[in-house]
Chain A
């Protein structure tokens, strides 16, 4: 067992956990986006609300979501730990002149991650917590189905507020930069750096980092502009 503890306490082992949890969260983002796109369907929210009920009641999905919460926390804690360790590795005296021979996003993953975390807290307070325990979400019934929570209307209520939409869109911009470095960085940390596959990883990474946050931002924007 000692070897396993050694792994998890080594710098490379911690990086491995960052990469694996990060890749899981990337997959989660894609699934989350696919679900959210149903908000744009003009069916009075039927498909989105039934989907939301399914996602909060299906035992398999619930299990995966607990894994997801755990990995979000793990990603945050290890990031905080590594950032502190990395800061102290520089030593007590910093450079008078600092070099800029790397990409901005790669040097500021901690700041970008913190902004994404703040967004996540706001986001989960207004939607996730309301869906689970709140009293702001009304009930609605569609033909032939039992009553379901009308998360659709709740989301529309928020996305009719200009400041909220602006906050959402800006945060998606920060998420894009976080992903721009994070996606390809995870593969490098896993040791998956290969001349044959690097172009694919880089292309998919860049496309994902731009398209997914853009699509996420498009939902509140289009709801707001059509209101």
Chain B
């Protein structure tokens, strides 16, 4: 099939970018979207042009690297990652517009590659549990209801790809932060740091310059892992509960 791609080209984070149009004449319907880009890049390299920079890693839908907005939707028309999107989704003769994630907190580094370390910093601010790693505990030593475990697991399937931010008209990161807060808040292992976690992650999210949630649910519609906005509601509960009740214990220290 013949495909025309209109791609955002930008030399570096400071440069002014713009769209360039490329023609591909022999695209197989079995190709993934990224493989189509590989073919296009091989074509560009043969012509001595600079290949299009785009992020990719696992190509099996779990690393969350392949960030591109395809025809106005993060990861394209299907609710999946770009690597799992195949060219059969498009029609012969289609023109496809490909843009990088657009958010102040995700600056464009080159072409379609954005810097998503803002997510890492949010995660580092509280998305962990401090545990003493001793021996392996017995199975079912800590009873967790199946439904709660499932809910926590669903939240933990977030791959931090940033599609929620890209889809949101406010470039809000609340679905990501909601998922990360939820996966720990639901489980007993996450309880000790529960309140500080919510406060710190929200503070970091705001500091990174992400927008606020308007409950449009665009994030939920685009999330390749199907993370639900119930996680944003839980984030709101966790945060508001934490703000009003955290640090209720005065620690005096000892030995002075």
Contacts and interface: CB of A to CB of B under 8 A. Distances in A.
Interface of A: 3, 6-7, 10-16, 82, 85-91, 93-103, 106-107, 109, 181, 184-185, 188-193
B45 interface: no
A7 to B, nearest CB: 5
A10 B105 contact: no
Contact of B215 (A93, A106, A192): A106
Interface string B5-19: 010100000000101
A101 B97 CA distance: 17
B184 interface: no
A190 B240 CA distance: 8
Contact of B71 (A3, A11, A97, A184): A97
B221 A101 contact: yes
A89 B215 contact: no
Interface in B70-125: 71-74, 97, 99, 102-107
Contacts of A82: 212
Interface of B: 6, 8, 17, 19, 69, 71-74, 97, 99, 102-107, 167, 169-172, 202-203, 205-206, 209-218, 221-222, 229-230, 232-240, 243, 246
A12 B205 CA distance: 10
A14 B216 CA distance: 17
B108 to A, nearest CB: 8
A99 B104 contact: no
Counting chain B CB atoms within 10 Å of each CB, the highest count among A14, A184, A192, A193 belongs to A193
A137 to B, nearest CB: 40
B212 A191 contact: no
B203 A91 contact: no
A14 B211 contact: no
Contacts of A189: 213, 215, 236
Given A95-B72, A97-B72, A188-B229, A86 B214 contact: yes
A88 B240 contact: no
20 contacts: A3-B246, A10-B206, A11-B210, A11-B212, A12-B212, A12-B239, A15-B236, A85-B212, A86-B171, A86-B172, A86-B211, A87-B170, A89-B104, A90-B104, A91-B104, A91-B106, A101-B73, A101-B167, A103-B217, A191-B238
Given A98-B72, A101-B167, A102-B216, A188 B233 contact: yes
